[in-house]
Amino acid sequence: MVEVTLWGALATTAGGNSKVEVEAKDIRELFRKLAEQYPGLEPWIDRGIAVAIDGTIYRDTWSKKLPPGAEIFLLPRLAGG
């Protein structure tokens, strides 16, 4: 079980919860479980969400493992110039 922190706008689609607990071993499973638990999140996941694991931001590596006790933050997927 990992604790996941959602940024403000995302929290409103997860029933107002800014922290949710999910049983997931990697980012792919995290997104799948989140979409199951909070269907309102699915369009956001489709549009792109980045995952910060202990401060390092992952945008595309969905196979990245979620170590037990790691700090996990969901963040908007950013544009760059």
**Contact residues: another protein, CB under 8 A:** 5, 7-9, 12, 16, 47, 52, 54-61, 63-64, 71, 73, 75-76, 78-81
The least CB distance from residue 35 to another protein, in Å, is 17
Closest separation in Å from C-beta 30 to another protein: 15
Nearest CB to another protein, comparing residues 13 and 37: 13
Nearer to another protein, 4 or 24 (CB): 4
Q: Are 3 and 23 contacting, i.e. CB atoms less than 8 angstroms apart?
A: no
- Annotate the chain with DSSP letters as a single string: -EEEE--HHHHHHTTT-SEEEE--SBHHHHHHHHHHH-GGGHHHHHH-EEEEETTEEESS-TT-B--TT--EEEEEPPP--
Shortest distance (Å) from residue 63 CB to another protein: 8
